[in-house]
Amino acid sequence: MNFRYELKQNNGQITTGTIVAADAGAATKQLKAQGGYIISLSELAQSEKTTLQKILEFKIERGPNAKDVLNFTSQLAVMIKAGISIRPALDGIADQVENRKFREMLLQVKQDIEAGRSFSESLSRHPKTFPPLYINMIKASELSGSFGGMLERIAAYLEQQIETRSQVRSAMVYPIIIAVMAVVTTVFLLTFVLPRFVAVFEGKEDALPIPTKIILFMSFCFRKYWYLILAGTGGLGWLIAWAINTGPGRVWWDKTKLKIPVMSKLFRSLYISRSMHTMGELVNAGVPMLDTIHITANIAGNVIYKRMWHQVYVSVKQGKKICEPLSQSDLLPKSVIQMISSGEESGKLAEVMNDISEYYQRELKNTIRAVTSMIEPMMIVLMGGIVGFIAMSIILPIFKMSSMVKG
C-alpha cells in the first residue's frame, strides 16, 4: 500500500512524500524511525476509474451501517495505539472509506475537532451513526486517558452485537424460506394444476365433497381476482407494519414476542444478554450509573424491558439499589437479580454484568439451535399438510366418481 505523509522535522522543517508499507501502523513505524512529528498520513487514492467502470459500479448511496462504524472504530484504535494523533488518523481513515456519506461525516468530525470541540462532542452531532453508548464511552475515556484501549473495547462490543443480530436473523431465514415455498406451491397448485381438473368435475358439483368445493372456489378466486388478492395482501402487510409502529401496537407486539411458545425464550435471552453486556461495558468505562441505566433502557430492543429499566432509573435516582425494582419484575430470572445484588454489595457490579452477559450469550446460541431444530419439522409438516389437503381434495372425488361408474 502507498501512503502520502507530511512530517515535521525536529528543526521545524516540514517534508512531504510517499512511503510503501503493509498498513498504516507499519508506515507510522517507518516514519518515526526518521524522527520528527507526523502531521498527516493517508493512503494514496487509486487511479481514476473509467466511465464504464463508474456506470457498472453505480449504486444508490446509503448511510453508514453498523459494520462501517465497527471498521472505523477498529482502524482508529490501531492508529491511536500506533501514536498517530486523532486528526491525521481521521483524515487517513476517511481517505479509505468507500461510503461517501460516511467519509463526509468523518471529515466533519475532524473539522469540529480542529475548531476546538472534543472527539465525543464531535461524534454527538451524528446521533444516527454514533449512539449514546458509543459517545459516553468515548467521553469517559477522554477523562481517564485510556482512549486507545476504550476504542478496542467499543469495537469488541459492536462486533458482538453484530454477531448476535446475525445469529437471530439466521434463525429466522429457514422458516421464512419454507413459508414462502408453501405459499408459492399453494398458489401454483390452485392456479395451474387444479384448473386442469375443473372439466372433470363439471356438472357434478353437488356430488363433490366439501374440501373439493373449497379449493375449487379458492382456485376460481385466485384466477379471476388475483389483482385484488395481491393488492389486499400488500395492503394488509402495510397495515400490520403501520400498526406495529404505533405506540399501542408496539406494546402489543413486544408483549406477544415474550409469550410466543417457541420464540419467547430466544427473545428473552437476547434482551437480557444485550442489557447486561451494555451495562457491564458502561460501568467498566466509568460512565455514571444513571447515564448507564438510561442508555441500557434505550438499547433494550423491547418496550416492556425499556419500561423496566426506566423504573430502575427512577428508583436509583431516589437512592435505591438496582436490584430493588428488578425484584418486583418478572422479566429477569431471580438468579440474575441475586447476582446483580451480590455485585452491588461487593462492588464488582461490572464483572457480574459481564458474567451474566456471557452466560446468556451462550444461552442465546443454544436457544437458536433448539428453536431452529424445532421449527424445521413444524414447517415441513405444515407445508406437507397444505399440499396433501389439496391433493386429497382432487383425488377423493375422482375415486368417488370411479366407484359410482363401476357400481
Lowest mean pLDDT among 115-119, 173-177, 186-190: 173-177
Residues of the chain with CATH 1.20.81.30: 168-407
Q: Are strands 14-20 and 37-43 parallel, antiparallel or unpaired?
A: unpaired
Chain segment 89-138, per-residue pLDDT in tens = 888 888 888 888 888 888 888 888 888 888 888 988 888 888 888 888 88
Q: Is the per-residue pLDDT at 184 higher than 60?
A: yes
pLDDT of residue 235: 93
Q: How far, in Å, CA of 127 to CA of 194, rounded?
A: 55
Residue from 93, 102, 95, 86 nearest 141 by CA: 86
**Helix, coil or strand: residue 12:** coil
pLDDT of residue 402: 65
Band (53; pLDDT cuts 50, 70, 90): very low
Residue from 132, 44, 59 nearest 99 by CA: 59
Band (42; pLDDT cuts 50, 70, 90): confident
Fold of 2-46+62-130: Receptor-associated Protein (1.20.81)
Higher pLDDT, 376 or 348: 348
Instruction: Using a pLDDT cut of 70, give the percent of the chain over it.
Output: 90
pLDDT of residue 239: 92
Burial grade of 196 (CB within 10 A; 0-12, 13-18, 19 or more): exposed
pLDDT of residue 58: 44
Beta bridge partners of 42: 4
Q: Per CATH, is 168-407 categorized as 1.20.1600.10? A: no
**Helix, coil or strand: residue 391:** helix
Average confidence (pLDDT) over 139-157: 82
Q: pTM of the entire structure?
A: 0.67
Phi–psi pair at 17, nearest 5 degrees: 175, -170
